[in-house]
Structures are given as structure tokens and as C-alpha cells.
Structure 1
Amino acid sequence: MTSEVSLPQKQSSHTIEQISIYDVRTNCQCRLILLALSIAVFLLPFSDFVYLPALTQIERDMNTSDAVVEDSVSVYLFMGGISSLFWGSISDRYGRKLTLIVSLSLFATTSIVCIRAANVILLVFSRAIQGATISAPLVIGQAIIADIYPEKKRGSAAGWFFLPFNIGPIGGPLLGGPLSSAFTWHSTFVLLAIFSICAIILILVLVPETHQYYIKEQFHKTNPDKRIIDVEFSNPTQFKNPLKAVAYLYDLTILPYIAVAAATSATLASTETLFPVYLGKNPYNFSQTTIGLLYVPSGIVLFISSLLGGWLSDLASVYYSHKRCLEGRVVPNLILSTLTPIGLLIFGWSVQCNAHISVVIVGLCIASCGQALFEPCASAYLTAKKQSDAGTVSAANVCLDLCASGVLVSIGVPLTGVIGSGAYFSLLAALTLMSIVPVGVIVYNSIKRASYSIGEYDAIVSELDPANENTKLRK
């Protein structure tokens, strides 16, 4: 998007070319940035799931209970959720790239500490620090997408970004099981340390600073004959209060969408965590290697659904753009998110009734589909709604998502032992549906108001100028 403006001066006219912030990079550069971010964000779920097959081995080696070892999983998620509140504000103040490198460096360091952990206290503590550091790519990655992609292309970009994130829970057990069996559980953390160092190198090489304010200032210095016209960021000299992200959890234009994203993601996290528990017992009695392979179908569904969800979101954004209704972009994704409660019901009751393993996998796949379809849509909507606070609003989204996942992972095993898997997953399905319905009402009313406003505007224009061609075309 370019235009030219002639500015009168005392001695001569000087032409200033106006361009969009989204045109300062080529499509190839944007894709490379997205690739590096996707690899970095893969670490968050991968790190959570890669050592699940080795929990029994860790329990035996450290002479502790299974409850304490499993607490390392929930602590990891909780710390990721809480720390995400800070990463958005830090990246807004000090830049995206520097914050990413610092967080990944801390993650690599704590991975090395986990390798050398001599007792379960040090292991749990190190896992907590890991969770606190690795949530940064998930928060900052969404902010960078908002920095480099315009609103109409943001859904598809988010779909690619969340693609590795969604298949991380699948790849974790697939690699973690054979690795821990062959080289003990320490090898999983060796892998994480190597992976995080590779991610740091990719960020250093492929990801420049993308914060729109800094890019605008740098661009104007190096291109005095050009001006960027569509940057909403003010000078970020002041560090924003991290609790500002919490305030978005009270904003009724933001909270309902975050609630759906958190509900679908947290219930799926609980399902994926309980999946190996159920399949390792009667009547299934599958080995860890086989269980890892049984994650593959849901991984394929997550892969396809993430891309489809981003594409549908952008398609809806274009369709509703003439009504100037940002909420319109969530319509198809919100409808399809109802697949998650359906899948949860199938999964829970098929396990309780000892159904064939294929039915259990179908339930997991359907639940995965609903979650992956809505996730990129939610990210695109939130960052478009709060462009100047993209990092902060993404932090609020990640915080509720990971904290809710931590809660459900913590209570999943004991609660299913008391009420059964069927009742437990029925509760999760009801929780998810209760989050979806209010958003449906909000979106419907928003579209209705937008249509009414456009109709009023057209009526006024028609009265003033009956021959107006734009009005005729809309009619």
C-alpha cells in the first residue's frame, strides 16, 4: 500500500512516499520469521510431554511418589501461565528479539540443571523455571505476528505458528519414550537443551526486531523520503505494568474469546495427559512405544485443523469487512469449536465403557479438531482488537490458557478415580460449551449492530445523493 503526498516547502517541493508498516518486509522474510517462531514455540508443549513416558523411571530413581513427580507437570504449566503476564510487557519495552533470546537462554540453562538434578525438589524447581521461561515464545510470537502481518492475513499466519505448538504433545511421547528407555530419563533434558540452543541460533539469524515503534523509527532514519503511516504504538519508554494483562480478563470485549480458547485448550491438555494413563491399564495394556504411536492420528488432525482454522478466520474477516465487524472473523471457527465438547464426551464414555481403542482415538481426534480450529482465530482476533497492546493481550490469553491447563492436569487423575472418566469428561464438555455459547450471542449481536449501522448510513447517503453508486452496489 503506497501513495505519494507533495509537501509544499519554501524553495522546492519534496515528495514523501507513504507506505504501510506491513510492506517494509518481503513475503519471504515474513515466512522465515514465522518459521523460526514456530520452532521456538514448539518447545513449550514438547518439553511438557517429552518426559511423560519416563515419569515411572524418575519416581523409582529419586525414591519418591508418583504424585510428586506428576506435580512437576502442573507446576510447569502454572509457572508458564503466571510468567506470561511479564513477557508481553518486557517485549513491549525492550523489544521482541532480545526478550526471546534471554528467555530461551534461561530455558537452556535450566534444562542442563535438570540433567544434573540429584533429587526431586531440584527437579521440580528447575521444571518450574523452565515453564516460566518457555512461555515467552508463545506470547511474543503472537505479538510478532501482529507486528508483521495485517489483520486480514493474520489468521493464516497464526495457523502456521500454532501448527508445531499443537503437534508438540504428539512428538513429545514419540521421542521421549524410546529415548528414556535407551538412555534413561536424563536424555530427554539433553534433547531439550540441544533443541533450545538451536532455537536461539534460528532467532539470532532469522528474526530481526519487529516491534512496530522501533521499526518505524529506524525506517524513517534510513529512508528520509518515506513515511510509515499505520503504526499505533507510542514510544515504549515506560515499562507497562504486567498486571495490565489481568485487566483484559475483565474486559467483556476480550474475556469471552480468551475463555473459549482456554476451555478448549485446557480440556484437550487434560485429555492428552490422561490418554497414556488409560491406555497403559486394563483392558488396553499398551506399551509406552505403542501409546506414543497412537497419538499420531490426533497429531495429523491438529496439523490440518490449525491451517484450516487460520484460513477460515481470514476468509470470514474478508467476508465481514464491509460491515466493519471484527467479531465476524470468529463465526466459522466458533461454530466448529463445538467439536471439542463432542469429542470429550466420546473419549470419556468410550474409556469408561472399555470401548475399542479406535473409538477412543476418534474422540481424541474430534476434540483436537475443535481446539485447533479456534486457536489461530482467537489469536488473530485479540491482536487485531488490541493492536497497540498485542503483547499484553496475548499474555492474558496465554496466562488463562496455561493456568487452566495446569488445574485440569492436576485434578484429572484423582477426579476420574472418584467419579469415573465418563462423568469427568462430561463436566469438561459442559464447561467448554458454557464458554462457547456466550461468545455466540456476543458475535451475533455485534454483526447485527454492524449491519444496522451500515443500513442507516446507506439510507442517509441515499437521501442526500440518490445516484450514489456505492450505495447501489451494496444493495
Structure 2
Amino acid sequence: YTVFSTRQKKFIVLLLSTAGLVAPLSSTMYLPALNTIQTEMNTTSVMLKLTISLYMVGMGIAPMVWGTLSDTVGRRPIYIISFVIYILACVGCALSNGIGMLLAMRLIQSLGSSSVIAVGAGSLCDLFEAKRRGRALGFFFVGALIGPIIGPTIGGYVSQYLDWRWTFWILAILGGVVLVLIVIFLPETHRGVVAAKYDVRMENVTPPSKSWAFNPLLPLYYLKYPYVTLTIINISLAYGGLYAMSTSMPASFARVYNLSTSNVGLTYIASGVGNIIGSVAGGNFADFMMHRFRDRMERAQVAAEPHEDGDAPTITIADVPKEQRLTGGVYFCWLMPTCLLIFGWLINKHEPLAAVLVVQFFFGLGMTFIFSAYSTYLVDIFTGRSATITALNNSTRSIWAAVCSVIEDPIETGIGPGWTFTLFALL
């Protein structure tokens, strides 16, 4: 399936997972310092929340461009160009002297950081055949899913003991390290682009398309399929719940539990641990269900049409309905709304912080379990356009997360955290 060795593929997964950490880490790392930034820039909380929402909107729009281009010109050039943009924007954020400049730099920062989310899934689809793809994508999504959680943990200490601007200097340094690693160690993986470059004739390879090369609206084409739309809606609703919870925590925990900026950051660890376990377990479970159904198909075929030993046709993972990857959603779909509901009322009733953290852990576990399995399903059904379909997935969930991060605060101010998260749980 690929010329890369197992060791090389593992390294690429590790590198891309690290690169995938950058975008979500950048979205939340400065959350604990919002009050400090508001005072320093003499602005309102609404304008500061807009820096979060604008970033998420950028993360929703840009991958549709990056993903489409990567399916045309290859993965490697997109990584390099986007990380150069990201590093320059981080420097701009650190040097911002007003809310207007910070808003502009945050938008540019999101445009640069968001490429890996879509293009990374495409790279792994290039490297791993279907029977091992779920596990690989599960490890890849670890970076993207723990970023929103460990960001505030790191940012809380950086803001309290250094300065909020140092959060962006640290992100610029991280982006520079990732860029150097990509330039030196990451090869081109797009199977069609590599085959065309070296005039290699390969079977079952989607050639690079020229007709839609620069059409950023191409990912929206796939919304005509109901199974794509319904899957993406499920992922988006879960992601929106995560951001509603994450953006509410700094103010709520400081008010209810009297926590310092750094200690508020530490509370995100519980959900982060759940995210890691859920992402890896979800990918492995999706692969397990595919293998189990394949074995069941083989037994049914043998029973229906007995063959002599060695004559029975082999059933491969490619023959298994891709919808088997969605089984994890059936088992865990109840966990996220239940946790959102309990989280809101625990805060509302000023219950012990330990109980809140336990609920956050299980929310992270359920959300990423489903996210990993559903995302792998989308890649499986559109293997030749894996980066494009992942861009669509990322765009819709990021835009919904932006909406949730904006509306959570005024809703909670009006009706309290209990009823606010009851509404999110119903969604």
C-alpha cells in the first residue's frame, strides 16, 4: 500500500499529531488571561470573546482551501506555507497594542494553523490502508483534541508568572520547531501527486484534480449526501459543547471556587485525560468493529456456500460496510449530553470541584470516542478526497464551536449555568 516502513509511518503520525496540536492549543491558551487583557487593552468582555470566535471562524473557513489544494498539489507545500503564516501571526499577536490589531492577528493566526487538521488526515489516509486507519487517526486526533484542554493549563501559569504576551511567543517558538521538523523530515505522501511526479502507474489511486484546484467551496459539495451531513452534525454538536464548557470555566471557577489564574488552568487536565483515552480507544474500537464484522461475513459466506479448504474467497476490510465504524456512537451517544447537564447543575449548586472534574473527564472520554470513530468513517468513504472531506468536517464543527463560545456567556448571565448547559445538553 505504501513504500514507507512501519517505523517511518509511526514517526509521521507523531509529527502530524504534534503539528495538529498547534491550532486548538492556540485557540485556548490565553483564556485564563482574558481578564488581564481586558484591563490592559481597556476593552469589553464581548470584544475579547470575539477574539475566540473569530479564531474559530477562521479555523472553519481556511481548511476548505487548504484541504482542496492539498488534494491537488500535495500535502507538503501546504504544511510549509501555512506554518510560515502562523508563526508571523503569533508574533503579531504578541506585539498587539490594541483590540483591533489582536482581532486581525488572531484571524490570520487561525488561517495559518488550521491546515494540519484537514491535510493531516489526508496524509494518514495516504499511508494507512483501511484496516489500520482507525487506530492511526485515533492517535493523530489526540493532538487536536487535547489542545483546547492543555492550552489553558499552560497559559494560566505563563500569564500569571510571565505575561499574557508570552503565550503567543511560546506558540511562535512551537510553530517554528514544527516547521523545521516538517521541512527536514516530512516527505510528500499524496499517492496521486507522487505517482504523477515520478510517472509511476498505480492502481486505485485518485489522480490530482485540476478542474477544482482552487475552489474553496468544493467541500460543501459533499453535504448533498445525507450520511455525510448527519455525521458532521453529530460531531459539530459535540465540539460545540466542549467549547461552551471550556469558555465558561475561567469565570465560573474563579467565581464559585475562588481559583487563581494558574489553578483554573489546571482544571482543564481532567477533560484532557478523557480526550486522550477516548481518542485512542475510539480509533481502536472502530478498527475492532470492522474486523469483527469481516469475520462474521466470512462465517456467513462459508455457511451459505461451503468450499473446499483454501478455495473460499477472501473477504477483506474493503468489503465491510463503512458504517460499522459508527457503532461506537451508538454506545456512547448518551454520555456527552448527560455530562453537560450534570456539569451545569453542579456549578449552579456550588457542588465540590472534584465532582465537576469527574464529569469533565467522562465528557472528554465520550466526545473524543465518537469524534475519532466518526471522523475515520468520513475518511473511509471518500479516501481519494480525504483532506477535502476532513476540511468540511473541521469547518462545520469550528463554526458551531465559535457560535457556542459567543452565546454561552450571555445565556449563562441570563438564566444561570444549570439551565444554560441543560440547553446545550438538549442540543
Fold match (TM-score > 0.5): yes
Aligned to 1:58: 37
2:243 equivalent to 1:269: yes
> 1:320–1:329: 8 Å Cα contact kept in structure 2?
no
Alpha-carbon shift at residue 220 of structure 1 (Å): 5.1
Q: 1:407 aligns with which of 399, 403, 410?
A: 403
Give distance in 2, aligned partners of 1:248 and 1:23: 27
| CA deviations over 1:63-109 (Å, ceiling 9, x no partner) | 11121112101110011101121111111122111001101110000
1:345-356 maps to which residues of 2 (within 5 A)? 345-356=341-352
Alignment check: 8 A CA contact 1:316 1:330 kept? no
For 2:379, the equivalent position in structure 1 comes to 383
* d(CA) in 1 for partners of 2:417, 2:33: 24
2:267 is aligned with 1:288: no
Match of 2:313 in 1: none
- Distance, in Å, in 1 between the alignment partners of 2:24 and 2:177 is 17
Q: Please give the alpha-carbon distance, in whole angstroms, between the structure 2 residues aligned to 1:48 and 1:214.
A: 32
Query: What letter matches 1:294 in structure 2?
Result: T
Aligned partner of 1:59: which letter? Answer: Q
Contact 1:320–1:326 (CA under 8 A) maintained in structure 2: no
Question: If you compute each CA radius of gyration, which structure gives the higher value, 1 or 2?
Answer: 1
Q: How many residues align?
A: 403
| Structure 2 partner of 1:85 | 64
- CA separation in 2, counterparts of 1:368 and 1:351? 18
| Alpha-carbon displacement from aligned partner over 1:325-376 (angstroms, at most 9, x marks no partner) | 1101110244213211111111011111211112211221221111110112
Choose from 68, 74, 81 the match for 2:47. 68
Offset at residue 406 of structure 1 (A): 0.2
Cα deviations by residue, 1:174-220 (Å, 9 ceiling, x for unpaired): 21112122222111110011000011011112211111102223565
* Unaligned 5+ runs, structure 2: 298-318
Match of 1:228 in 2: 202
Residue of structure 1 aligned with 2:124, choices 140, 145, 150: 145
Q: 1:338 to 1:216 in 2, by over 3 A?
A: farther
Partner in structure 2 of residue 298 of structure 1? 271
Unpaired stretches in structure 1, ≥5 consecutive residues = 1-21, 222-226, 432-475
Check if 1:217 corresponds to 2:196: yes
Q: Secondary structure at the match of 2:227?
A: coil
1:128 match: secondary structure: helix
CA contact (8 A) 1:146 1:387 kept: yes
* Equivalent residue, structure 1, for 2:219: 245
Distance (Å, rounded) in 2 between the aligned partners of 1:134 and 1:298: 23
Contact 2:18 2:143 in 1 (8 A): yes
Identity %, equivalent residues? 30
Q: Residue 96 of structure 1 is aligned with which of 48, 72, 75?
A: 75
For each residue in 1:413-454, what CA deviation from the matched residue of structure 2 results, as whole angstroms up to 9, or x when unmatched?
Answer: 1111112212221221121xxxxxxxxxxxxxxxxxxxxxxx
Between the aligned partners of 2:132 and 2:351, the Cα distance in structure 1 is 43
3-state DSSP of counterpart to 2:184 = helix
Q: Could you say which residue in structure 1 is the equivalent of 2:285?
A: 312
1:121-165 deviations in whole A, cap 9, x for unaligned? 001110011112211110101111111111111111111011122
SS at match of 1:320: helix
- Aligned Cα root-mean-square deviation (Å): 1.5
Distance across 2 between alignment mates of 1:220 and 1:27: 25
- Structure 1 runs, 4 residues or longer, greater than 3 Å off: 217-221
1:325 match: 321
Deviation of 1:34 after TM superposition, in Å, equals: 0.9
TM-score normalised by the chain length of structure 1: 0.82
SS in 1 for 2:209: coil
* Matched-pair contact (CA < 8 Å) for 1:174–1:289: yes
Deviation (angstroms), 1:244: 1.9
State the structure with bigger RCO (CA 8 A, min sep 6), 1 or 2: 2
Matching residue of 1:17? none
